[in-house]
Amino acid sequence: MQRDERFDRAERIIQVGFWVNAVLMAMKLAAGHWGHSDAVFADGVESACDFVAIGSTMVALKLGRQPCDENHPYGHGRAESLAALLIGLVIGITGVWILYDAMQTIVHHEFRSPGWIAVAAAAATIVIKGWLYRYSATTGTQLESPSLLAIAQDHRKDALTSIATLAGVLGAFFGWGIMDPLAAGFTALFILHIGWQTLSGACHDLMDGTVHGEYIQEITALAEAVPHVEEVHEIRARRSGQYIIIDLKLEMDPQMTVKQSHDVATEVKRQIFEQFQNVGDVMIHINPHAEEHEDLIRL
């Protein structure tokens, strides 16, 4: 898949989520206010906070698709991880706010009886957000896009919390007023959990955390299968937005010429690019096989 195609697919999905979220936000805020439901209104406030997250992701994708330049020789992919970090923070802050508000309502016994419009809004959110989650998660997984996967988790969070919201609104609708703020509090716990997952994943990428072990093993096996590569001495991989940057140390026959070893390294890189569409760059260092050598590093 070409670079521009990858970013175009991600951007289309995020734009769909942006406008659908706008409609849901207006619907839930109105339904929560006129339907007298704290849980549904809190859900609407949460959707309003999502605007910040989705808007930042759209900006991050525009930045991330820019090619390398003099000031950013490794590209601009980290903009996506920064967006995921912001999304995680927004989700977490929203969760704290909703939890506090629900606790205040319970402590002061300020229960209200919600109307049917609040019930309908909660039910509609479950269906729409569930569809958006599957739509975003499928493409986000294919592209391995941190920001798109974070948006998918945000949609998943909305779908799950709306289930709790619906249960609480139905309970309050039939006379158990405490069910509405309890649902809002339960919603807040889901929000905090997903916010932590998103935040920790973004921090992992921004701090050059390694990719999962199976990926490393597959790259190692591919490189060692190339003729004249005696062994992969060391491999490291880190994420930059939708792409993976790999550092490889290959051991080869010390009698090979510079030209021969260069050709082998080029073949290794070519095969990695062919079989792993999300690899952005491969940096290769060559060591003499079966000879003592010193690897200088300061980290």
Same domain for 159 and 128? yes
Residue 46 has φ and ψ, to the nearest 5°, of: -60, -40
pLDDT for 124-136, tens place per residue? 888 888 888 888 8
Rounded to 10 deg, the angle between the 116-143 and 146-173 helix axes is 160
Same domain for 201 and 137? yes
Range of the domain at 282: 213-288
Q: Alpha-carbon distance 284 to 212, whole Å?
A: 20
Q: Strand 231-240's sheet: what is its strand order?
A: 231-240, 243-252, 279-288
Taking residues 24-50, report their average pLDDT.
78
Asked if residue 295 belongs to a domain, the reply is: no
Evaluated on CA atoms 123, 125, 131, 134, the torsion sign reads negative
Nearest to 197 by CA among 132, 152, 252, 242: 152
Residue 285 has φ and ψ, to the nearest 5°, of: -120, 140
Same domain for 234 and 160? no
Q: What is the 3-state secondary structure (H, E, C) of 65-89?
A: CCCCCCCCCCCCCHHHHHHHHHHHH
Asked if residue 297 belongs to a domain, the reply is: no
Residue matched to tokens 């739509």: 135
Confidence of residue 249 (pLDDT cuts 50, 70, 90): very high
Residue 173 above 70 pLDDT? yes
Rounded to 10 deg, the angle between the 3-34 and 116-143 helix axes is 170
Asked if residue 134 belongs to a domain, the reply is: yes
Nearest to 21 by CA among 150, 118, 154: 154
Q: Alpha-carbon distance 201 to 151, whole Å?
A: 13
Domain count, the chain: 2
Asked if residue 293 belongs to a domain, the reply is: no
- Domain end: 146, 174, 206, which one? 206
Q: Do you know the residue count of the chain?
A: 299
pLDDT for 140-157, tens place per residue? 887 777 767 877 887 887
Taking the C-alpha atoms of 163, 165, 170 and 175 in order, what is their torsion angle to the nearest 10 degrees? 150
Same domain for 270 and 191? no
Which pLDDT belongs to residue 286?
92
SS3 297: coil
SS3 content of the chain, % helix, strand, coil (to 5): 70, 10, 20
Residue 1 above 60 pLDDT? no
Same domain for 276 and 195? no
Taking residues 164-189, report their average pLDDT.
77
Asked if residue 32 belongs to a domain, the reply is: yes
Same domain for 76 and 200? yes
Based on the number of CB atoms within 10 Å of its own CB, is 31 exposed (0-12), middle (13-18) or buried (19 or more)?
buried
pLDDT for 256-288, tens place per residue? 999 999 999 999 999 999 988 888 889 999 999
Which pLDDT belongs to residue 241?
74
Which pLDDT belongs to residue 247?
92
Contact 198, 87 (CB under 8 A): yes
Same domain for 239 and 113? no
Same domain for 154 and 35? yes
Q: What is the pTM of this model?
A: 0.65
Based on the number of CB atoms within 10 Å of its own CB, is 204 exposed (0-12), middle (13-18) or buried (19 or more)?
middle
Contact 88, 139 (CB under 8 A): no
- What single-letter amino acid sits at 50? D
CATH number of the domain enclosing 185: 1.20.1510.10
